């Protein structure tokens, strides 16, 4: 079965990656938007990978002259890889989404519930655990697994789990520990087994495992060189590094929903009223409602009008920003990797993304 699975994936996504550019009707727009981005004093380099229908295009901008194999930190995009491991654990019946997380922890954690309502595995992946965002500083490399669990013993959800979405790195780290306990293997090995190896993402790694001439220097919002994120505890939550060449393989796999696990991570599980940030009753994804967005497993989704869908996630570290967006109705997905972070960079990358997507919707 494993051999068949690997062969199937290779047939689906095994292509030769090179710096192919889009047809002229798109190329001029992408080049203009990319040059405008890199010409701004608040930005640095930008690498773009685009999967459109059956084609793959790569663009690179900036004085550092990045390429499709230049390596960037991808921050919280790492969580989507951990979500795929979770999906495999569910498929293999190693756990259930509705299980109490304490079933998979060594020790006693009575606080991981609110008035008797436990934090469930699903809550760790759909951002509704109600746990605090962080139990430690990202630069505190001395904060070990044991220290995290000790701090977790006094952590409590501040509302009923599963009711309100909220960013929580604590929940994301806890999910990696649950999966490590289930499989008796470290999260980086699990991501490699279930995602990187099948998709042949050879230029993707964790923390200081991908350090070469291809690794870009990251810059903070003021333009100063930023420290790399090398915390061992964050490997599956924010510590991954990759390139557009590899990430387009990942996007192709997701866009094609090539396996039940890909389908699982992208299927909306909860719907949120954007005005109140409260979960509302499920509705059909065919229903247009610009005031509602949905969440799956570390992916956000929005359906603002009849022919407009988007699925997205992003990630930031001390010196990098990454943005992924899929437009299912266009058969289009894009990855943007920047080696500078900050609100201006985030806004400008999203402008580039939607400028490209708008043009491709006019055929």
At 231-275, the pLDDT tens digits run 889 999 999 999 999 999 999 999 999 899 999 999 988 999 888
Sole residue written with tokens 């490590």: 180
Q: Give the DSSP letter of residue 361.
A: T
Residue 210: what pLDDT? 56
Helix (H, G, I), strand (E, B) or coil at 314: strand
The whole model's pTM is what? 0.91
Residue entry with tokens 């266009």? 330
Q: Taking Cα atoms as reference points, which of 130, 120, 113 lies closest to residue 86?
A: 120
Task: Assign 355 to helix, strand or coil.
Answer: helix
Predicted confidence at residue 3, as pLDDT, reads 40
pLDDT of residue 362: 67
CA 82 to CA 193: how far, in whole Å? Answer: 11
Residues in the chain with pLDDT values less than 70? 1-19, 138-141, 208-211, 283-288, 361-363
For residue 274 the two structure tokens come to 């954007």
Nearest to 147 by CA among 119, 177, 185, 118: 177
Confirm if 332 and 311 have CB atoms less than 8 A apart. no
**Mean per-residue pLDDT of the chain:** 89
pLDDT of residue 350: 94
DSSP 304: E
CB of 134 closer than 8 Å to CB of 90: no
What is the SS3 assignment for 56-70? EEEEEECCCCCCCCC
DSSP letter at 217?
Answer: P
Cβ-contact 338, 349 below 8 angstroms:
yes
Q: Is 121 left (phi over 0), alpha (psi -120 to 50) or beta?
A: alpha
pLDDT tens sequence across 154-210: 999 999 999 999 999 999 999 999 999 999 999 999 999 999 999 999 999 997 665
The backbone region for 110, taken as left when phi is positive above 0, alpha when psi lies in -120 to 50, beta otherwise, is alpha
Q: How far is CA 326 from CA 39, 49, 50, 171, in A?
A: 26, 12, 10, 25
**Range of 214's domain?**
2-360
Q: What is the largest CA-CA distance in the chain?
A: 61
CA-closest candidate to residue 72, choices 355, 273, 337: 337
Could you give the number of structural domains in the chain?
1
Residue pair 170/137 in contact by the 8 Å Cβ criterion: no
pLDDT at 208: 63
Q: What is the total residue count of the chain?
A: 363
Q: Which residues contact 350 (CB under 8 A, 6 or more apart)?
A: 323
User: Torsion angle, CA of 187/190/192/193, rounded to 10 degrees?
Assistant: 170
How do beta strands 292-295 and 270-273 pair? antiparallel
Determine the Cα–Cα distance for residues 53 and 331; give it in Å rounded to an integer.
5
Q: Strands, E, within 151-223: which ranges?
A: 205-206
The string of DSSP letters for 104-128 reads GSSS--TTSEETTEEPBHHHHHTT-
Query: How many alpha carbons lie under 13 Å from residue 318 in its C-beta half-sphere?
Result: 13
Question: Which H or E run includes 171?
Answer: helix 169-183
State residue 332's pLDDT score: 94
| Chain centroid to CA 132 | 20
CATH code where residue 138 lies: 3.40.710.10
């Amino acid at each position: 079965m494993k051999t068949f699975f690997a062969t199937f994936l290779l047939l689906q996504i095994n292509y030769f990656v090179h710096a192919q550019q889009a047809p002229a009707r798109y190329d001029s727009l992408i080049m203009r938007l990319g040059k405008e981005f890199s010409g701004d004093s608040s930005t640095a380099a930008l690498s773009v990978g685009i999967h459109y229908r059956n084609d793959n295009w790569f663009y690179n901008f900036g004085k550092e002259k990045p390429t499709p194999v230049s390596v960037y930190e991808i921050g919280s995009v790492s969580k989507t890889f951990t979500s795929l491991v979770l999906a495999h654990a569910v498929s293999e019946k190693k756990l259930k989404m509705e299980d109490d997380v304490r079933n998979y922890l060594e020790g006693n954690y009575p606080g991981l519930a609110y008035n008797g309502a436990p934090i469930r595995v699903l809550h760790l992946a759909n951002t509704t655990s109600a746990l605090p965002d962080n139990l430690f500083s990202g630069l505190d490399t001395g904060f070990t697994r044991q220290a995290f669990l000790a701090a977790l013993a006094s952590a409590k959800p501040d509302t009923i789990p599963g009711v309100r979405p909220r960013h929580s790195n604590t929940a994301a780290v806890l999910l990696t520990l649950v999966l490590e306990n289930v499989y008796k293997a470290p999260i980086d090995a699990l991501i490699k087994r279930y995602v990187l190896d099948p998709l042949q993402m050879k230029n993707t790694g964790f923390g200081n495992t991908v350090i070469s001439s291809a690794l870009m220097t990251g810059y903070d919002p003021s333009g100063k060189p930023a420290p790399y994120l090398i915390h061992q505890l964050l490997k599956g939550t924010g510590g991954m590094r990759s390139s557009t060449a590899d990430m387009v393989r990942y996007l192709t796999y997701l866009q094609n929903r090539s396996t039940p696990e890909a389908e699982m991570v992208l299927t909306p599980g909860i719907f949120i009223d954007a005005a109140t940030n409260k979960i509302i009753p499920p509705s059909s994804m065919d229903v247009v409602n610009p005031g509602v967005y949905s969440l799956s497993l570390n992916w956000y989704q929005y359906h603002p009008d009849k022919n407009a869908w988007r699925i997205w996630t992003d990630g930031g570290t001390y010196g990098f920003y990454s943005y992924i967006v899929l437009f299912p109705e266009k058969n289009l997905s894009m990855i943007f990797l920047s080696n500078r972070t900050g609100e201006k960079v985030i806004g400008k990358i999203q402008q580039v993304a939607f400028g490209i997507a708008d043009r491709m919707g006019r055929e």
